[in-house]
A and B are shown apart, each in its own frame.
Chain A
Amino acid sequence: MISLHGLTKEFPGGVRAIDALDLEIADGEFFALLGPSGCGKTTLLRTIAGLETPTRGRVAIGGVDVTATPPGRRDVAMVFQDYALFPHMDVTDNIAYPLRIRKVPRAERRARAAETAARLSLAELLARRPGQLSGGQQQRVALARAIACHPRAFLFDEPLSNLDARLRLEARTFLKRLQRDLAVTTVFVTHDQGEALALADRVAVMSGGRIMQVGTPAEVFQRPASTFVASFIGSTPMNLLPGEVRGGGLRVAGARLPLPQEAAGLPEGAGVVYGVRPEYVDLSPAPRPGAFAGRVAVLENLGTAHLVTLEVPAEDGEPPAGSEPGGATVQAVVPEGGEPALGEAVWAAPRHERALVYHDDVLLTRAPDRAAR
């Protein structure tokens, strides 16, 4: 188990890369650190590894405080974004390097390296140097080197980002299976939300050195705790529309929507942000109650579906607080064949049971519904 308490890292010059961060990562868990560039993911991972000394706070691994322990004694293995395979050593020597440091006899460490390599389908490549390997092979050698020393935890810094798109998908599946087989605690840094959702048991979404939300992929996808998380997660960003409570319902982008149960406590006139994923917006060619009236502005082909961007004109009368006077944009994903024509007038109806309401940038929840979700 890895636990972080009040962890803060300030770099000389005043950059606070990690800001009073608390986190618990369970044994055997595949844990993803997700966030935009510069949010402190790498710094956090390096602090867990011991390559950075925290300014404040504690790091414990397996219940032991390792804040002052040098990296080599924390019994973790790290895979760097550039893999850091030693260019002057062949694959065997690279994989066996951690064992060499641990003074494992040469014959034994070669045997163990070969064994690990075979497991990652690297058996043919043992005598090659890193420069003679493809990106995917290098990535697997780096994994093998991490695995060979049987650490308590793996720390991966964007291990897939140097691969091309197709290889990345393969490597993702491979990594997931490997982690399940080994059942070693794994902390995985990525800025690709798809990768995090696909791989992790739990995801921490970071921003500005803080954790915005921790949860299972389903939780962060279905119920993002803040509009930041909501806009960051999902292959197509969530529709986030400003609105307000009015007359027992919600006024959002010109539409009158029923007041969700979780917003029942809000006073008349309270400003909210109404969120719904494009996947949960249905288009119809005819007017419908509780739908946004708009015109098709952009059509994007996603392969098996289309992403439709609607321009919803400004409401006549007083626009809801915070909305742009020029109206709003609503996106919807429609299945193949069902897409409207460009410029066509359509009505976009959000599925209310899937909608999320944010007040003061906090997701409103129904108390009894929470456990069931």
Chain B
Amino acid sequence: MSGGRAHAGHMVRRIGVFAFFSVVLAFFSLPMLWLATAPFDANPSITVSVPEFTLANFRAILDNPYALGSLGNSVLQAGGAALVVVTLAATAAYALSRVRVPGRDALLYVLLLLSSIVTGTAAMVPIFELATRLNLIDTHLGVILTVSGGLLPAAIFILKDFMDATPTSYEESARVFGAGPVQILLHVAVPLVRPGLATIAVWAVANVWGGFLLQFILIRDPQRAPGSVVLYTLYTEGGQPDLSLLSAFSLLYSLPVVLMYLFVSTRYGFRFHGGIKR
């Protein structure tokens, strides 16, 4: 093997890798350029262009009757679902981790299996029916409960992992000092798995925030619709979409999840259990 050829081969390889990264970067950032420029453009068009800088587009959000309210609805639904999922998953995971119930592992696997196959897509008809009969159409509660039902199995599974990893001597110690089950749960078990609870909460919020189908099915009233649904109606209903409003609102609606991701990845490092996505 001649040194020159090896060197040339090395160069070709480097150039190839560099080209690949360039293409990847271009491919992935191209669609997002619009989101970065249009919201600040005085005359936003559908084409990406260097903006004539303005913040006026964000005022359009205030003028729209539903936009701002939909953010509030998203916060309510996401927060509510996170609360329900974290509370119920934590108590269930704690009990399942600490008390040996026959068939526990099988139960968890079946639930996990169900939660991965009973997707919004596969169950939209019965979920719509169920919500209609329970008078949950057009309510935040309907969205919260439906979403929570789907997220709970995985949440229980993950939290059980966290609980299993904490030594039982903490609880036993508290028990010898006279703490009852509720005190042990609140004083000892919950604080010990706080990172796990945070993970689940962030995951649930991201899920509801980015989720579309269930909200779209369950909520007809634009007063109650979350941001994802209102955003969709902005570009599908009635003629030319108002690009000022659409671009500014898209950016505003994306920010919370992006910030949450940044927070999680800097705080805990972006690892797999941070894989908070739908």
* Touch between chains A and B, by CB atoms below 8 Å: yes
Q: A residues near B, CB below 8 A? A: 46, 49-51, 70-74, 76-78, 80-82, 84, 86-89, 97-98, 101-102, 149, 155
Q: Are A51 and B194 in contact (CB under 8 A)?
A: no
Q: Are A88 and B192 in contact (CB under 8 A)?
A: yes
Q: Give me 27 A-to-B residue pairs in the complex whose CB atoms sit less than 8 angstroms apart, sorted by A's number.
A: A50-B176, A51-B175, A51-B176, A70-B175, A71-B175, A71-B176, A72-B175, A72-B176, A77-B177, A78-B173, A82-B169, A84-B169, A84-B172, A84-B173, A86-B187, A86-B188, A86-B192, A88-B191, A88-B192, A89-B191, A97-B177, A97-B187, A98-B177, A98-B178, A101-B178, A102-B178, A149-B177
Residues of A contacting B192 with CB < 8 Å? 86-88
Q: Are A80 and B173 in contact (CB under 8 A)?
A: yes
| Cβ proximity bits B166-206 to A, threshold 8 Å, 1 near / 0 not | 01011011111111100100011001101000000000000
Closest 5 CB pairs of A and B: A72-B178, A84-B173, A98-B177, A88-B191, A84-B169
Chain B's nearest CB lies how many Å from the CB of A161?
14
Q: Are B170 and A72 in contact (CB under 8 A)?
A: no
Q: How far is the CA of A37 from the CA of B78 in the complex (A)?
A: 52
From A76, A84, A102, B170 is in contact (CB under 8 Å) with A84
Give the nearest-CB partner of B179 in chain A.
A101
| Cβ proximity bits B223-267 to A, threshold 8 Å, 1 near / 0 not | 000000000000000000000000000000000000000000000
Q: How far is the CA of A86 from the CA of B172 in the complex (A)?
A: 12
Residues of A contacting B178 with CB < 8 Å? 71-73, 98, 101-102
Q: Are A88 and B194 in contact (CB under 8 A)?
A: yes
Q: How far is the CA of A102 from the CA of B183 in the complex (A)?
A: 12
Question: 4 extra interchain contacts, Cβ-Cβ under 8 A, other than A70-B175, A73-B178, A82-B167?
Answer: A82-B169, A98-B177, A101-B178, A101-B183
Chain B interface mostly: helix
Residues of B contacting A71 with CB < 8 Å? 172, 175-176, 178
Residues of B contacting A155 with CB < 8 Å? 176
Q: Are A80 and B179 in contact (CB under 8 A)?
A: no
Q: Are A80 and B177 in contact (CB under 8 A)?
A: no
Interface residues on chain B, size class: 10 to 19
Residues of A contacting B176 with CB < 8 Å? 49-51, 71-72, 74, 76-78, 155
Q: How far is the CA of A46 from the CA of B173 in the complex (A)?
A: 11
Q: Which of B176, B183, B191: most chain A CB closer than 10 A? A: B176
Chain B's nearest CB lies how many Å from the CB of A291?
53
From B169, B183, B191, B194, A80 is in contact (CB under 8 Å) with B169
Q: How far is the CA of A49 from the CA of B172 in the complex (A)?
A: 10
Residues of B contacting A101 with CB < 8 Å? 174, 177-179, 183
From A77, A80, A89, B172 is in contact (CB under 8 Å) with A80
Give the nearest-CB partner of A149 in chain B.
B177
Give the nearest-CB partner of A51 in chain B.
B172
Chain B's nearest CB lies how many Å from the CB of A81?
8
Q: Are B179 and A84 in contact (CB under 8 A)?
A: no
Residues of A contacting B180 with CB < 8 Å? 72
Residues of B contacting A50 with CB < 8 Å? 176
Residues of B contacting A84 with CB < 8 Å? 167, 169-170, 172-173
Give the nearest-CB partner of A80 in chain B.
B169
Q: How far is the CA of A73 from the CA of B178 in the complex (A)?
A: 6
Residues of B contacting A98 with CB < 8 Å? 177-178
Give the nearest-CB partner of B171 in chain A.
A84
Q: Are A97 and B191 in contact (CB under 8 A)?
A: no
Q: How far is the CA of A74 from the CA of B180 in the complex (A)?
A: 14
Q: How far is the CA of A161 from the CA of B137 in the complex (A)?
A: 62
Q: How far is the CA of A29 from the CA of B107 in the complex (A)?
A: 50
Q: How far is the CA of A70 from the CA of B179 in the complex (A)?
A: 10
Q: How far is the CA of A268 from the CA of B110 in the complex (A)?
A: 73
Residues of B contacting A86 with CB < 8 Å? 170, 174, 187-188, 191-192
Which residues from 133 to 183 on chain B have a C-beta closer than 8 Å to any C-beta of chain A?
Answer: 167, 169-170, 172-180, 183
Q: How far is the CA of A82 from the CA of B172 in the complex (A)?
A: 12
Q: How far is the CA of A77 from the CA of B192 in the complex (A)?
A: 22
Give the nearest-CB partner of A50 in chain B.
B176
Chain B's nearest CB lies how many Å from the CB of A121?
22
Q: How far is the CA of A88 from the CA of B192 in the complex (A)?
A: 7
Give the nearest-CB partner of A75 in chain B.
B178
Chain B's nearest CB lies how many Å from the CB of A113?
13
Residues of B contacting A149 with CB < 8 Å? 177
